[in-house]
Amino acid sequence: MTGSPPIDIPRAMAAIEDGLAERLDGRGVNSSYRVGLRGRLFSVKVHCADRSSDLELRRILRVDAALGGTAWYPRVIDIGLHTAAHPRLVVIRPFAPGAPPTGVRRHIGPLTDVLADLALRAKELTVMDDLTGDYASPWLDDRENEQRGTARLLKGRPAVPARAAEDHLAELCASARLLTRPGTVFVYHGDLHGRNLVLGGSRRLTVIDWDEAGFSRRPADAAKALWLSCRRGRGDFVLDPVAVRSFLEHLHRRLRTPYPAVGHLARLGALWFLPRQHHVALLGRRDAHLVSWYLDWVSRFWSRFERNLALLTETAAALADESASRPEPSWPTPDHTICDTPVTTN
């Protein structure tokens, strides 16, 4: 970020406070705006106070440095803590006009290309430990305390997520540990799925929503995208068998993901759908209605988890059998892959 930026945080926040910015829809804990200035459009992300800190700022800047020059990445124009009231982290980027790829399966190729780029950008990357972490980290670092918090949160609420935490948490954490690689970091988007890919003029691709950007020692982006990118429709979790097959084939080709690792990858991604007391509290502070919506949403995920996991592992097994009888295609691949840990077939 050199030279005089076309917009800065004081001007962006003034536009928001004066009602001159368009607030964009979203159900997250942060707020997104589109601001027009001097004939240009900018994306302004205002983080909630609880997620606004110098650590978050450093993490986003380190990702920005790692991804500089990547065609689909919108560079940070300005970033800082806005202190007009409660300190809030504000991040300004170019606004990406366009729309997500249409159809549940059409985004899978571009998505896995992005995953491969993220792995390539992590080559020989050195990152401080305080900048690494993902949605699995709380469960691996302090599982019993997180489980107690979830139990308190779900008391008197839908029983499905509570049963999931009780029945599956040990196996989910075991898979997450298996896929953890202490000597390697991945550049981590945090919410990579089809609706965060935007195709603009000339089919130019932009990846948006970098709220959770950071670094992980696990293939956390791929694991979460596996669930979010193979659904038949937004808002539910009936996996599309054709989309599942396409996603697994692309992961195998572009990132050399072994088919027997798919069950572990899916269990790692499932950790994101376990409600955490801290996250639900932040949702409630933004809008109390979001809490019921979110708990109903994750309940739908867990009500289909075992059937969907069976579909994923059965598809992976069939693909493994097929690949054993044909030559492997040649694709550019990163020096370190999504999973090179020996795994057993599920």
Tens-digit pLDDT string for the chain (346 aa): 556 678 999 999 999 999 999 999 877 889 999 999 988 999 999 999 888 999 999 999 999 999 999 999 999 999 999 986 779 999 999 999 999 888 777 889 999 999 999 988 887 788 888 999 999 999 999 999 888 888 787 777 666 777 777 889 999 999 999 999 988 889 999 999 988 999 987 778 999 999 999 999 999 999 999 999 999 877 778 999 999 999 999 999 999 999 999 999 999 999 999 988 888 888 888 888 888 888 888 889 999 999 999 999 999 999 999 988 776 554 444 545 555 544 444 4
Specify the CATH number of the domain 9-94: 3.30.200.20
Distance between CA atoms of residues 209 and 27, nearest Å: 12
- Supply the DSSP symbol for 231: B
Superfamily in which the 108-323 domain is placed by CATH: Aminoglycoside phosphotransferase (APH), C-terminal lobe (3.90.1200.10)
Residues ≥6 apart with Cβ < 8 Å to 70: 117, 121
Q: What is the pTM of this model?
A: 0.90
3-state secondary structure of 68: coil
Distance between CA atoms of residues 164 and 273, nearest Å: 10
**Which tokens hold the place of 96?**
């990406």
The residues spanned by each domain of the chain are 9-94, 108-323
304 torsion bin: left (phi>0), alpha (psi -120 to 50), beta (else): alpha
**Which tokens hold the place of 134?**
């993902």
97 and 41 in contact (C-beta within 8 Å)?
Answer: yes
Strands of the chain, DSSP E? 22-24, 31-37, 40-46, 78-82, 88-94, 186-188, 197-199, 205-207, 214-216
